[in-house]
Amino acid sequence: MSSVPIAEVRSRLEERAAQLGLDAPDAALLADQLLDAELCGASSHGVERMRWMHQRGRRGGGQVRLIERGDGIARYDGAGTLGFVSLARALDAELAEPVTGARLVTTSHCFPTGRLGYFAERAARSGVVCLLTATSVPRIMHHDGGPPIVGTNPFCLGLPGDPDPTVVDVSMGRVTFGGVLAADAAGDRLPERSAAHSDGTETRDPRDVLEDRAGILPMGADQAYKGFALALLVDLLGGSLLGTDGYGAVALLARPQAEPVAGLRSALEGRRMPGDGTMARRAAATARGTVDLPDDLWEWLASR
């Protein structure tokens, strides 16, 4: 592993983002998201995603645009911009206008979006509750077998808090697609019972998933039908609000009417809340001032 100063990683990420066709502000925004994932310990959604986008030839040019504003809803089109950028720009535009009640925000043609907790936290720090989900390429298979049919389709909630928001962010697979990418890059095997071929035969080879020979199993172990149902729920919600000609994100923004976290923390009696580990890892990494990256990944990022 290479221990690299945070500022150096940020600078290199911005350079690589510019190579994807992003202008300076959008390159900085993408770099911030991937760096934040590393600081939070979510390396599956961090710098490795930049290498993946370069390998896949993804381009990021374009401007997100508002296509409709109605009663309680705003619809945006990512217009070919990377989802990391288009979703952030759409939500920032909505948060610039005070949310007095509740507002549904959809962003179509918005992929990939990365770690949804990043966006929900941004909204929560502005004093707004954010319930956010996103659709993606089919990667989760039915719990009884068959080909991948729904995306990993994360679901995320951000609540304002003092000093930090509460962010609950969960994907519907037993492993995220980022986890598959990270395992492949490191030469590791997938966790047990996380992926299978269409006939139900288990595989732990990440290449099987990446090369469409296998799918990710839904979360839930012997109750995986619940994980599949949640992933399907997101797919159906997205399909009905975004259309079926691509992938996108749906967010509900609302002003909180109460503070529910304190009572729950008291009931937990010191047990960890979802998101606590993320905040602690970010604080520790920031205080340390460095990011640990696999040697080959840092070599790639630093090369011209």
Query: What pLDDT does residue 161 have?
Result: 92
pLDDT given at position 261: 93
So what's the pLDDT on residue 244?
80
Could you give the angle at which helices 24-39 and 116-125 cross, rounded to 10 degrees?
100
CATH T-level fold of 63-173+218-257: Ribosomal Protein S8; Chain: A, domain 1 (3.30.1370)
Q: Note the pLDDT of residue 185.
A: 86
Predicted pLDDT of residue 302: 94
Task: Walk along the chain (304 residues) and give the pLDDT tens digit of each residue.
Answer: 899 999 999 999 999 999 999 999 999 999 999 999 999 999 989 999 999 899 887 777 678 999 999 989 999 999 878 999 999 999 999 999 888 889 999 999 998 999 999 999 999 999 999 999 999 999 999 999 999 999 999 999 999 998 899 999 999 999 999 899 889 988 999 999 999 999 999 999 999 999 999 999 999 989 999 999 999 999 999 999 998 888 999 999 999 999 999 999 999 999 999 999 999 999 999 999 999 999 999 999 999 6
| Opening angle at CA 39, ends 36 and 44, nearest 5 | 80
The pLDDT of residue 58 is 73
**Cis-peptide, bond into residue 112, ω within 30° of zero:** yes
As given in the structure block, the two tokens for residue 80 are 């070919």
The correct answer on CATH 1.10.1530.10 for the domain covering 1-61+276-304 is yes
Q: Give the separation between CA 282 and CA 277, rounded to whole angstroms.
A: 9
Rounded-to-integer distance, Cα 214 and Cα 209, Å: 5
Q: What is the pTM of this model?
A: 0.93
Residues in contact with 86: Cβ distance below 8 Å, sequence separation at least 6, in sequence order: 62, 64, 76, 78, 79, 107, 109, 110
β-sheet bridge partners, residue 7: none
pLDDT for res 62:
75
Structure tokens at 254: 């609302």
Nearest to 148, CA basis, from 157, 156, 138, 133: 138
What local confidence, expressed as pLDDT, does residue 162 receive?
87
Domain ranges of the chain: 1-61+276-304, 63-173+218-257
What is the structure's pLDDT at 257?
94
